[in-house]
Chains A and B, each alone.
Chain A
Amino acid sequence: MHGWWSDRRIGPLLGAAGVLVLLVIAGMTIYVTKVAWPSLNANGLRWFGPGGDANVQLQEIFSSREPFEYTLRAWPLVYGTALASGGAVLLGLVLSTLTAVFVVGFAPPALARTIEPVVRLLAGVPSVVYGLIGILVLVPFVGNHLISESRKESVYYVVQLSGQSLLVATALLTVMIVPIMIAIVVDALRAVPASWTEGAMALGVNRWRVLWTISLRAARPAIVAGAVLALARALGEAIMLAMVSGGVIFAPNPIDGVTFAFEPVLPLAAAIVQGAEGISVKPYGATLFAMAAVIMVSSVGLSIVGWAVRRRLRRFGAAG
């Protein structure tokens, strides 16, 4: 009776499902670009550049009548996205690599058996939960205890420091992406052929050096893959960042020293959430869709870069 389910039929059927996925992605890309076009077209590459106050520009876009105003210099948004997600991935890389090495090489089996499921569970916590913790606990704490009165005074004419800051955004993003990175690196370290590590041990090399020089090196493609995945998640994270990151478009200035970390940022995805109420105002909607297009293109670019790096690294290792 399995005549109907022959491979000859199933093959094209599954193929159709695959093609459908491609069509959906293509359709989405076309739609986003189409709606975003007036904004992209009016600004060109200057969209990514600095100039003027983006808060004022968005206000003018929102309230403009025909012919619509589209001028936006989104540099602070792009820079904010790069700072928050880049910082989180760098921190996450260090944290997750060290944790994974501990879990694989040093943790007593009982502890490792506890850490792993907990980490995987953490990876599934919805981001809005982190957002709530951020806004109800971290932001008031940072605003009232970490930022001194004199620090607030020092920049108050340019930006208000209320605790909604790059620091909180990056910290929460790190907590969000670390679990998935740990899971990936742990799997990769376990996949390193036992003969390699045992060979090194037989030569009298200690566990730390075996893990550091052999296992981690072999696992590099997987670490890159984890970082790319984490970066993509950080780029697209919107709700949590919209809740904790201050609601004002501002480019933190490294010259400010420590204050830099306490200055607010508004990443692109968070800016879309913030403005969602006004999405049916035509020029404003186009502007938000332009931000969405930029996020989409960067994610695709990231995947390609990740793939290229993995290909190069794979020549030196076995795993991944």
Chain B
Amino acid sequence: MEKIKSRRTTAWIVTIIIVFFSSGFGVAKTAAMMRRDAESYFSGNNSITEDLDTKTGYAHNIITIAKKYLEEDDVKALRQSINQMDTAKTPSLKYKANLQLNDDVSQLKIRLESLGDAVKDMDKLYLDKMIFNIQSIDDIINKSGYNSSARDYNTAVNSIPASLFKNIFGIRNLELYGE
């Protein structure tokens, strides 16, 4: 009789362990899916990273125009911003690099405008077009679904019951882009 009781107790203990770990597995699996979905807005096709790469391309073009009229030292800051953008991998670093790049593009534009008629009209037009494109990209990024997906993910993994398994199963929050 004791053995029968002990087998029943063992069955309940094993079941509780199975329920706990399968719940944790379920949470981890769901979190991984949500994370992948959110990250695809940041690093997949038509993602923020891809838009920022296009933006750095425009920044290179601006440097090319600026080099016709300015010294290397004048474009050095923008070059560094481009490098910073290329090496940045996380959303927060990309965001910081983007702000810096916008800042440096504005500075360079002011510098070129200060040259007045020394800058050819065609270059002025081209420069305006590049700056317009850069601003358009920022608009596109602002409308990206990344932040809202990342927020949904963070809310999900930080709410009970998922939060109970968060640390045990190594589930991490997602960084937001610029917030």
Q: Do A and B come from one complex?
A: no
User: Which A positions have Cβ atoms within 8 angstroms of B?
Assistant: none
Chain B residues within 8 Å of A, Cβ to Cβ: none
